[in-house]
Chains A and B, each alone.
Chain A
Amino acid sequence: MSELTLSPNIAGADDFYAELLAVHEGLTKDESDALNARLILILANHVGDRDVLRAALAAAQRSGGQGDE
């Protein structure tokens, strides 16, 4: 069973980030929301491991906004 990777893991972070923004270009808010949801599901399925997914949900949950980290 693997652990959730929370250290840098994408070679060419800037490039990926630009690609992520690019797929949203020209979309309405609704279309972007839909795309994000599809992306989350595709990535979650790729991960597959329920423990890792649970850790990812928790990491996303606790790192939101209020600077409580």
Chain B
Amino acid sequence: MNKIFEVPLYPYTKSPDQDAATPVRHPVMVVGAGPVGLGVAIDLAQQGVPVVVVDDNDKVSFGSRAICFAKRTIEIADRLGLGQPLVEKGVVWNLGKVFFDDRKVYDFNLLPEDGHRRPAFINLQQYYFEDYLVARVREIQSEGAPIELRGGNKVQSVTDQGDHVRLEIDTPDGPYTVEADYLIACDGANSPIRRMMGLDFVGRVFEDNFLIADVIMEADFPTERWFWFDPPFNPGQSALLHKQPDGVWRIDLQLGWDIDKEEEKKPEKVIPRLKQMLGDEVEFSLEWVSIYTFQCRRMEKFRHGRIVFAGDSAHQVSPFGARGANSGLQDADNLGWKLKMVLDGTAPETLLDTYDAERIHGADENIMNSSRSTDFITPKSQQSRIFRNAVLDLSEHFEFARPFVNSGRLSVPCVYDGSPLNSADALPGGPLRTRPGAPCPDAPLGNGFLLERLGGQFALLTVDADAPETVEIDGMTLHRIALSASEDGTGALAERYLGDAASAVYLIRPDQHVAARWTAFDADAVATALSRALGKEAAA
């Protein structure tokens, strides 16, 4: 068994809070040190907001769990300061094969678009991701960032007191009470906080079970994603084989609904199944086995007064398309800057409601996509099975049918169309992909890349347009990032940010989404758009 599961990363130590005569008040507390809780905590601490993270555990999560991290997640990780280790450790893949019944129907190359610093996605065990997040917490701590990580701290109750939240926390030294101006609940799919507050979590339960196994193989299997529909070794069901770092392979086998979970997890049951799949001659050992039942559901609202839910506690999707961890990191990305600005008084508290609006939009998109994949993989009616099989049969012979094959759509970031923070598009001929609400796509700039120039502040990006180097608005300073299409010989910058326009000015949010865009700089228009992006103006 991999040692990384065993090592306490943030073992319990007693905090002075536990001996305080009156409860200590923190600006922000985060419950849950999973990828989402750690992500949002790092984001806040890097902006100087003091944050305390509590978790009843003290280790990385057990087993690989999420293994596919999309480009957008790596870009967010870059901003958090841990993109590089992720990419260095992760496996990049572009090739895949699709099997139906006993034959391969086609193979594909994802042919990722050029001109991005980061790959379309990487495969990496969730425990590495968490390990790097904790390492990053330690690093910024040593640089003086106000972040604290408390293991062995189990939240027993939370109460919203109107202007703050009160938490009762249990520890090996007994319970203590602590307070927070804001609480971010990143306590996972079974969120105890959600339950304590009696909040809904509704959606669709898929009556299906998946056996998830991490196996270590001696054989030199290619770095490809293999997906089987209805294979001889798992009739009527599906299977997936995908590579992770360290010679570990992820195998997902659909089991159906009426099974004995404890029985199916036993090695004497799992190993023969895997032998059927991999062939008798392949040597392998089992690292981790789990049975996963999934649901597609979300809370009706993610923000409840001073308690904000993020990640799996707020929404859950099927594993197809790797949207769990990826969408949770987008929650963190969306919430971090808003909370910072509200705490600073730079923005009204209602800015937090736009977290709700934007991330519910994101969750619904993810739930829709992952439900569609699930319906393709496990057809729910006779007619949907007929069409599914027709698509697979056709895909063997005709390219046109391949886009219908849905074994999980790659997680792509959500465009916040219709967000109250957007200003109307004022760049005629501008590319659709950089319209207000869209996340900025990367682009090469001579010897660097665009996204690393954007940073994590509001910014004014100009492409072949004049503007002052800094703009003062309401006590905020906007810095200009001046670019010219000629800096990028590949033409990607022009294609992604100009389209048919000759010049462009973009107002970019701290989470690198476009707030507004114009052909030329206009101080009043920028001021209005900024005020709107801070939630100060109602939608026009």
Co-assembled chains A and B = yes
Name the distance in Å between B382's Cβ and chain A's nearest Cβ. 9
Name the distance in Å between A37's Cβ and chain B's nearest Cβ. 4
Q: Interface digits, B373-406 against A, CB 8 Å rule (1 contact, 0 not)?
A: 0000000000000110111011000101100100
A42–B394 contact, CB under 8 A? Answer: yes
- Chain A residues, CB < 8 A from B386: 33-34, 37
State the CA gap A34–B382 with chains docked (Å). 11
State the CA gap A34–B394 with chains docked (Å). 11
Q: Interface digits, A36-63 against B, CB 8 Å rule (1 contact, 0 not)?
A: 0110111001000000000000000000
- Chain A residues, CB < 8 A from B400: 42, 45
State the CA gap A34–B383 with chains docked (Å). 10
- Chain B residues, CB < 8 A from A34: 386, 389-390, 393
Q: Interface digits, A5-16 against B, CB 8 Å rule (1 contact, 0 not)?
A: 000000000000
Name the distance in Å between B267's Cβ and chain A's nearest Cβ. 38
Interface residues of B in 52-111 (CB under 8 A from A): none
State the CA gap A42–B397 with chains docked (Å). 12
B389–A41 contact, CB under 8 A? Answer: no
Number of interface residues of B (CB under 8 A): 11
CB closest residue in chain A, given B391: A41
State the CA gap A41–B386 with chains docked (Å). 12
State the CA gap A13–B207 with chains docked (Å). 47
Main secondary structure of the interface of B (DSSP, over half): helix
Q: Interface digits, B401-436 against A, CB 8 Å rule (1 contact, 0 not)?
A: 100100000000000000000000000000000000
State the CA gap A19–B393 with chains docked (Å). 22
- Chain B residues, CB < 8 A from A38: 390, 393-394
- Chain A residues, CB < 8 A from B391: 41
CB closest residue in chain A, given B382: A33
CB closest residue in chain B, given A33: B386
State the CA gap A33–B404 with chains docked (Å). 19
- Chain B residues, CB < 8 A from A40: 390
State the CA gap A42–B301 with chains docked (Å). 43
Most buried by B among A38, A40, A42: A38
Name the distance in Å between A10's Cβ and chain B's nearest Cβ. 22
State the CA gap A42–B401 with chains docked (Å). 8
- Chain B residues, CB < 8 A from A42: 394, 398, 400
- Chain A residues, CB < 8 A from B398: 42
Name the distance in Å between B376's Cβ and chain A's nearest Cβ. 13
Name the distance in Å between B191's Cβ and chain A's nearest Cβ. 40
Name the distance in Å between A3's Cβ and chain B's nearest Cβ. 23
CB closest residue in chain B, given A30: B386
Name the distance in Å between B330's Cβ and chain A's nearest Cβ. 28
Name the distance in Å between A49's Cβ and chain B's nearest Cβ. 14
CB closest residue in chain B, given A38: B390
CB closest residue in chain B, given A46: B400
- Chain B residues, CB < 8 A from A37: 386-387, 389-390
State the CA gap A34–B401 with chains docked (Å). 15
Q: Interface digits, B496-510 against A, CB 8 Å rule (1 contact, 0 not)?
A: 000000000000000
State the CA gap A27–B404 with chains docked (Å). 26
CB closest residue in chain A, given B399: A45
- Chain A residues, CB < 8 A from B404: 41
CB closest residue in chain A, given B390: A37
State the CA gap A55–B394 with chains docked (Å). 24
Name the distance in Å between B250's Cβ and chain A's nearest Cβ. 31
- Chain B residues, CB < 8 A from A45: 400-401
State the CA gap A60–B400 with chains docked (Å). 23
- Chain B residues, CB < 8 A from A33: 386
State the CA gap A62–B387 with chains docked (Å). 21
State the CA gap A41–B388 with chains docked (Å). 11
- Chain A residues, CB < 8 A from B393: 34, 38
Name the distance in Å between B239's Cβ and chain A's nearest Cβ. 22
- Chain B residues, CB < 8 A from A41: 387, 390-391, 394, 401, 404
Name the distance in Å between B399's Cβ and chain A's nearest Cβ. 10
State the CA gap A63–B34 with chains docked (Å). 54
Name the distance in Å between A54's Cβ and chain B's nearest Cβ. 17
Name the distance in Å between B105's Cβ and chain A's nearest Cβ. 13
State the CA gap A34–B391 with chains docked (Å). 10
Name the distance in Å between A16's Cβ and chain B's nearest Cβ. 21
CB closest residue in chain B, given A45: B400
Interface residues of B in 341-389 (CB under 8 A from A): 386-387, 389
State the CA gap A37–B381 with chains docked (Å). 14
Can you list 24 pairs linking A and B with CB atoms under 8 Å apart? A33-B386, A34-B386, A34-B389, A34-B390, A34-B393, A37-B386, A37-B387, A37-B389, A37-B390, A38-B390, A38-B393, A38-B394, A40-B390, A41-B387, A41-B390, A41-B391, A41-B394, A41-B401, A41-B404, A42-B394, A42-B398, A42-B400, A45-B400, A45-B401
Interface residues of B (CB under 8 A from A): 386-387, 389-391, 393-394, 398, 400-401, 404
Interface residues of A (CB under 8 A from B): 33-34, 37-38, 40-42, 45
5 closest A-B pairs by beta carbon, nearest first, are: A37-B390, A45-B400, A38-B390, A37-B386, A37-B387
- Beyond contacts A34-B386, A37-B390: 13 other A-B pairs, Cβ-Cβ < 8 A, are A33-B386, A34-B393, A37-B387, A37-B389, A38-B394, A41-B387, A41-B390, A41-B401, A41-B404, A42-B394, A42-B400, A45-B400, A45-B401
